Amino acid sequence: MKKRTLKTVLVLSCFLILGCDSNAVYDIYKSVPNQWHKDTIANFKLSAPDTTSNYNLFVNVRNTNDYKFNNLFLIVELNYPNGKTLKDTLEYKMAKPNGELLGTGFSDIKENKLWYKGFDVPFKFTEEGDYNVSIQHAMRENGRVNGVENLEGITDVGFRVEYAQK
C-alpha cells in the first residue's frame, strides 16, 4: 500500500512541475456545455499586469473529433478600462487538408493556442485597471447565409496572456 501511495504522489508531482508555466500571466478556460450556441459569449476579466511590459495574447480552444470544420471564425472583443474597444473577426486553421485536426493532445481532445495579439506588433496594457475580453463563434456553412446555431465539438474556450519573449 505504501508503494502505491508513493507512486501516486510521484506521478502527481511530475504533472504539477511540468504543468507550471512561468510565462503565463493569465490563463482561464470556460467550459462549453454540449454545443457552443452562436449567442453564447465567453467573457474574461483581467487586471492589467504591468503597463510597461510586452505581452502575447492567445485564444485557447479545446475541441474533439466532433468538430467538423477545417477552420474557426471568432469575434473577439477587447474592452479597455477607459471604454476603448477593439473588435476583431478572426479566422484560425483547425485541420490539415486531409481532415486531421490540429492542436496538441494525446486523446480525442485537441488543444489549440491561437494568436490574438502580440505576434506582429508588441502588445502592452497601456491603461491600469480591468480589461474585459469576450469571445463568440461566427461559423457559417458554405452557401448558407445564416450562421451555425450550435457549433459541435468545442469543449472549452480560454484566454491566455503571456510575457513576450525578449
Q: Residues 6 or more apart from 23 whose CB is under 8 A from it?
A: 162, 163
Give the H/E segment covering residue 6: helix 2-19
Domains of the chain: 23-163 (2.60.120)
Residue 25 has a CB neighbour count (10 Å cut-off) of 20
How far the first Cα of the chain sits from its last, in Å, is 48
Question: Mean pLDDT for the chain?
Answer: 87
Per-residue pLDDT of the chain (166 residues; tens, 9 = 90+): 455 454 444 444 444 444 455 789 999 999 998 899 999 999 999 999 989 999 999 999 999 999 999 999 999 999 999 999 999 999 999 999 998 889 998 888 999 999 999 999 989 999 999 999 999 999 988 777 688 899 999 999 999 999 998 6
Where do we find the cell 485541420?
95
- What pLDDT shows up at residue 17? 41
Q: Residues 6 or more apart from 119 whose CB is under 8 A from it?
A: 56
Q: How far apart are CA 69 and CA 95, in angstroms?
A: 8
